[in-house]
Amino acid sequence: MKNIPFNKNSILLAPMAGITDSAFRKICKKYGADVTVSEMISSKGIYYRDKKTSSLMHYTAQEEPIIIQIFGNDSECMKNAAEYINLHSTPAAVDINMGCPAPKIFQNGDGCALMKDPDKAYKIIRSVKQVSAFPVSVKFRSGIDSEHINAVEFAKMCQSAGADFITVHGRTRSQFYSGKSDIEIIKSVVSGVSIPVIANGDITDAVSAKHMLDYTGAYGIMIGRAALGNPFIFAEIKKELFNTFVPTTDIFSAAREHLMYAVENKGEFSAVREFRKHLLYYLKGINNASQLKRMSNSVITVDDCLKIFELAGKNI
């Protein structure tokens, strides 16, 4: 087993497709995330040397330590992806996605679909582990649905296949992101294996973070949707739980930073259009946000965004 590339009680930024690009990882890392994770990257895309796929592996020193997450259901493609990462990157770890619930991913036999076939999942993990120069982790869910909760057995399989650590999301695939995450199943996974377990699901503030760590005994926690529009969540948890101070600013100053990171990476045209979804999250909860949200849907320049930040700042 390779050394875990982060300390106990670390807070990780969860991988989210279309969200956790370089700019979002930078802003979360600046405001307290201990570890970032890439968007999930197709092993087939890497195999066929697709430029767009390869670009998802790009990161800067400001985002480190970073885990690169790959997905696929073919062990040879996954092995090839791990070898490609060896040659072209130096992440803290390589994560295998076995938890994505998206219909397109699931129906293709990728992501959470692999929880239905532990033997195939084992071969994939083993093939990646055998060639990876970096620690290997696996991210998965509590099960496919409430009738097929197999996270503990799946975790033991991951450990047997050579995973250095695992991340468990307490929802089933059928729940997607609705309902309640099952903290009991996470606790059972922690008790069932000897490798470190990262807990994911319904961690929204310092209180829920403390409860997750204390109750489950997890090695660390992972935060996804709660960071949308609120990159300060990592700093807030660290301050409350560990008395660790991370400097922050006002939320719309952070939003401006986030936007400029995106422009730096992708240029104004693409960055601003992709930033529209983030604008909606940053505006959540402010007074009279409906008009600003309508404006957000049609921003095309940095100045358009800055105007919205200015107006929003007056309504906090």
Quick count: other Cβ atoms within 10 Å of Cβ 174? 16
Q: What's the CA gap between 147 and 240, in Å, rounded? A: 38
17 secondary structure, DSSP code: T
Contact 97, 69 (CB under 8 A): yes
Please state, as a whole number, how many other Cβ atoms lie within 10 Å of the Cβ of residue 314: 9
**Residue 159 and residue 3: Cα distance in Å, rounded?**
14
Give the relative orientation of helices 289-296 and 251-283 as an angle to the nearest 10 degrees: 90
Under DSSP, the state recorded for 297 is T
CA distance 200 to 181: 8
Q: Which of 31, 61, 63 is nearest to 245 (CA)?
A: 31
Which position among 28, 77, 100, 112 bears the catalytic label? 100
| Residue 100 known to be catalytic | yes
What are the residue numbers of the active site? 100
